[in-house]
Amino acid sequence: MNTLSRIVAPADPARRRLAVSAALASAALSLGLAAAGGLAPGAARAQAWPAKPVRLIVPAAAGSAPDVIARLLADRLGAAWGQTVIVDNRPGAGGIPGMSALARSANDGYTLGFVPAAMGTITPLVYKNPQFNPDTDLSAVATVGTSPLMLVTHANSSVNTLADLEKLARANPGKVNFAAPQPNSLPHLAGELVSKLGNMNLFTVPYPGPPAAVTAVIAGDAIVTADGIPGVLQHVKSGRLRALGVTSAQRLPGLDVPAVAEQYPGFDVVGWFQLLVPAGTPSAVGERVNTDLNAITRLPEVVAKLAELGVYPRQDSPVAAREFFASQQKVARRLVAELGIKPQ
Shared-domain flag, residues 237 and 279: no
Residue 33 pLDDT exceeds 60: no
Instruction: Provide the pLDDT for residue 64.
Output: 86
Shared-domain flag, residues 179 and 103: no
| Confidence category of residue 183, pLDDT binned at 50, 70, 90 | confident
Position 134 in a domain:
yes
Cα–Cα distance, 109 to 140 (Å, whole number): 13
Position 167 in a domain:
yes
- This prediction's pTM: 0.81
Instruction: Provide the pLDDT for residue 254.
Output: 84
Residue 197 pLDDT exceeds 50: yes
Span 126-164, pLDDT tens digits? 999 999 999 999 999 999 999 999 999 999 999 999 999
Shared-domain flag, residues 114 and 173: no
Looking up residue 226, the CATH number of its domain turns out to be 3.40.190.10
Average pLDDT value for the chain: 87
Cα–Cα distance, 176 to 204 (Å, whole number): 9
Position 46 in a domain:
no
Helix (H, G, I), strand (E, B) or coil at 130: coil
Share of the chain above pLDDT 90, in %: 77
Cα–Cα distance, 281 to 259 (Å, whole number): 39
Q: What is each CA distance from 260 to 145, 152, 247, 257, 326, in whole angstroms?
A: 20, 12, 6, 9, 23
Span 208-243, pLDDT tens digits? 888 899 999 999 999 999 999 888 988 999 999 999
254: left (phi over 0), alpha (psi -120 to 50) or beta: left
Cα–Cα distance, 260 to 240 (Å, whole number): 21
In the chain, how many domains are there?
A: 2
34: left (phi over 0), alpha (psi -120 to 50) or beta: alpha
Instruction: Provide the pLDDT for residue 86.
Output: 98
Domain termination residue (choose one: 262, 286, 320): 262
Domain termination residue (choose one: 262, 292, 317): 262
Instruction: Provide the pLDDT for residue 63.
Output: 87
User: H-type helices in the chain, by residue range?
Assistant: 13-36, 41-46, 65-81, 96-104, 117, 123-126, 134-137, 162-171, 186-197, 210-219, 229-238, 283-296, 300-308, 318-338
Residue 10 pLDDT exceeds 70: no
CB 324 within 8 A of CB 140: yes
- Which residues have C-beta within 8 Å of that of residue 110, sequence separation ≥ 6? 50, 52, 53, 54, 55
Shared-domain flag, residues 188 and 276: no
Position 246 in a domain:
yes
DSSP secondary structure letters along 24-61: HHHHHHHHHHHHHTT--HHHHHHTT--SS-EEEEESS-
Q: What's the distance, Cα to Cα, between the start and end of the chain in Å?
A: 59
Shared-domain flag, residues 172 and 247: yes
Evaluate the CA torsion angle 325, 327, 333, 335 in order and state its sign: negative
Shared-domain flag, residues 160 and 250: yes
Shared-domain flag, residues 155 and 230: yes
Residue scoring higher pLDDT (183 or 125): 125
Cα–Cα distance, 267 to 255 (Å, whole number): 18
Query: Burial level of 243, CB count in 10 A (0-12/13-18/19+)?
Result: buried
Domain termination residue (choose one: 236, 262, 288): 262
Query: Burial level of 287, CB count in 10 A (0-12/13-18/19+)?
Result: middle
Position 203 in a domain:
yes
Average pLDDT over residues 6-18: 40
Average pLDDT over residues 325-341: 93
| Confidence category of residue 35, pLDDT binned at 50, 70, 90 | very low
Residue 40 pLDDT exceeds 80: no
| Confidence category of residue 34, pLDDT binned at 50, 70, 90 | very low
From 137, 95, 112, select the one nearest 55 (Cα to Cα): 112
Instruction: Provide the pLDDT for residue 47.
Output: 59
Average pLDDT over residues 19-38: 38
Average pLDDT over residues 85-101: 95
